[in-house]
Amino acid sequence: MLYYLYHLATAASGPFLRKLTATRLAKGKEDPARYTERFGITKAPRPSGKVLWCHGASIGESLSALPLLTTLHARLPHWHFILTTNTMTSAQLLAQRLPPFITHQFVPWDHPKWVENFMHHWQPDAALWLESELWPNTLASLKAHKIPAALLNARMRPKTAQRWGLARGLVAQMLSSFRFILVGARDYRPVFESLGGKNVRYIGSLKFGAKALPVNEAELQTLRRYLGTRRCIGFVSTHEDEETLFATAARALKDAFPDLLIYWVPRQPDRGAAIAQTLEKQKLHSTRRQMHQPITAETDVYIADTIGELGLCYALNPLAVIGGSFAPHGGQNPIEGTHFGTAVLYGPHMFNFPELCAALEQAGAARIIPQESALVPAVSQLLSDPQALAVLQQSSRELATQNVAVIDAFADETIEQLELQ
């Protein structure tokens, strides 16, 4: 009944969604050359042969998918892969990284006709869904077309699970589109089973298998020359509602360690100007990478407000504090820094990555900061104790080498369960 009502409502939502798309175009949130992909209409031709459709909502999910799709292609070289995302940021980043056997598309709005436009054009032979974005019409179409599908690295926030619990029949119908579900943490298994998921298992997290973020070596050497003998730490993937906290922490850390440079990477690059203004109120001088401003002796905070350069931050910094964890956003992938031997600190709200955080903490590669007031003392303690910081870094490097097999495990399950040939 709920799906029937949803289907009717979305079928009538065309005018609203077209207006929404136009508004997003005006704000620069849609690609003028590709906005019709939101309606399932594309200029890209369907490749010959078999096609696997993989959907990841944004940057994190799509980057997790790349090693898996690369492994699948090595085993199934005659397959082509369509990777859909929602955001311009992810599209811009993927444009720099996608191999020729993967085509990027913007996922269509969950309008019945536009979903069918997409299906008719691409005619996928199999589908992989990543993490937590579930759209009723799209999943119903997969099932109607008898396309074998799987939900990988599945996760669901407690509040989301509570809301979905009120529409258990609709959720069960969506989850029935998947032959199997591999959850991203053990704690998620009973959640998906309670909502009607079948063949739900945990074999590891795709986040563990992510390859090292790319680093432009020439840019890295330039930044190191700018730094000289100064110490540097990273603030990574901060959210807007954390900016005052991090700016205040930057002021306190600069007072305690005058030679310190703080390398600040906002989650949304367009926050660069606002962060600079917040820092100015703290009497801190900042320069912005987006504006091609160099680090000088007067620079207190370097704002890396660009896309696809997080690897530079980790390669440069022995210590990083992860944003999205001091406000209830669920944090950011804490494993990314391990490839560079970066020690990580994070706040109490890392609920999107319970298994990864547990592994980091057990290995001695990360520390949790239980409350905002403990942020400055935690960073100060490590800056004052190079030996303790070095131990965290070494543990981080060792952990990075331990979980490479997870990608092969996901590939094995995908090929076997979806009967890919």
pLDDT for position 404: 63
How far apart, in whole angstroms, are the C-alpha atoms of residue 142 and residue 118?
11
Query: Looking at the structure, do residues 45 and 89 belong to the same domain, yes or no?
Result: yes
pLDDT for position 289: 96
- 264-313 pLDDT, tens per residue? 999 999 999 999 999 999 999 999 999 999 999 999 999 999 988 999 99
Query: Looking at the structure, do residues 175 and 253 belong to the same domain, yes or no?
Result: no
Burial 28-65 (b: 16+ CB within 10 A, else e): eebbeebbbbbbbebeeeeeeebbbbbbbbebbbbbbb
pLDDT for position 160: 80
Query: Looking at the structure, do residues 179 and 222 belong to the same domain, yes or no?
Result: no
- Which domain CATH number covers 131? 3.40.50.11720
Query: Looking at the structure, do residues 240 and 377 belong to the same domain, yes or no?
Result: yes
Q: Which domain holds residue 224?
A: 217-400
pLDDT for position 55: 96
pLDDT for position 403: 62
pLDDT for position 122: 98
How far apart, in whole angstroms, are the C-alpha atoms of residue 142 and residue 357?
34
Query: Looking at the structure, do residues 226 and 348 belong to the same domain, yes or no?
Result: yes
DSSP 320-358: EEESSTTTTS----TTGGGGGT-EEEE-S--TT-HHHHH
How far apart, in whole angstroms, are the C-alpha atoms of residue 182 and residue 204?
8
pLDDT for position 356: 86
Tokens of 76: 């199934």
Tokens of 410: 């996901």
Please state, as a whole number, how many other Cβ atoms lie within 10 Å of the Cβ of residue 342: 27
Query: Looking at the structure, do residues 204 and 221 belong to the same domain, yes or no?
Result: no
Closest CA to 65 of 157, 140, 133, 135: 133
Query: Looking at the structure, do residues 260 and 241 belong to the same domain, yes or no?
Result: yes
How far apart, in whole angstroms, are the C-alpha atoms of residue 363 and residue 400?
11
Query: Looking at the structure, do residues 243 and 326 belong to the same domain, yes or no?
Result: yes
pLDDT along the chain (421 residues), means of 10: 87 94 93 96 95 90 88 96 92 88 96 97 97 92 96 86 83 94 90 92 84 91 94 97 98 97 96 97 97 95 94 97 96 91 96 87 93 97 96 90 78 93 85
Query: Looking at the structure, do residues 395 and 339 belong to the same domain, yes or no?
Result: yes
> Could you tell me which residues come within 8 angstroms of residue 229 by beta carbon, excluding any fewer than 6 positions away?
259
Query: Looking at the structure, do residues 390 and 311 belong to the same domain, yes or no?
Result: yes
Query: Looking at the structure, do residues 102 and 166 belong to the same domain, yes or no?
Result: yes
Question: In total, how many domains does the chain have?
Answer: 2
Query: Looking at the structure, do residues 244 and 180 belong to the same domain, yes or no?
Result: no
- 148-198 pLDDT, tens per residue? 999 999 988 777 888 887 888 888 999 999 999 999 888 899 999 989 999
Instruction: Assess contact for 150 and 192: CB atoms under 8 A.
Output: no
- Which domain CATH number covers 297? 3.40.50.2000
SS (HEC) of 69-116: HHHHHHHCCCEEEEEEECCHHHHHHHHHHCCCCEEEEECCCCCHHHHH
pLDDT for position 273: 97
